[in-house]
Amino acid sequence: MPNLLNTQPNLARPDDFYEALIDMHRDLDETQSQAANAQLILLLANHIGDHDVLLAAMSETRAGVVASPESTPA
């Protein structure tokens, strides 16, 4: 299966995006922040619309979290 997921830097204005993402979370408590993330994920998934691309993104994300040293209990 070809790699359907673009993992190369692709944001025209990455700093502006990051700032907007941080602003979206400003003044939200933890529960609201998690809900905002979930809603953003679902909106972007709907926009992408390609099941195989979404599966590739989920697989890549999980692999990154499982492999990270921060996720390993001390």
Domain boundaries, the chain: 14-67
**Each residue's pLDDT tens digit, 3-30:** 899 999 999 999 999 999 999 999 999 9
d(CA 54, CA 61): 10
Confidence at 59, pLDDT banded by 50, 70, 90: very high
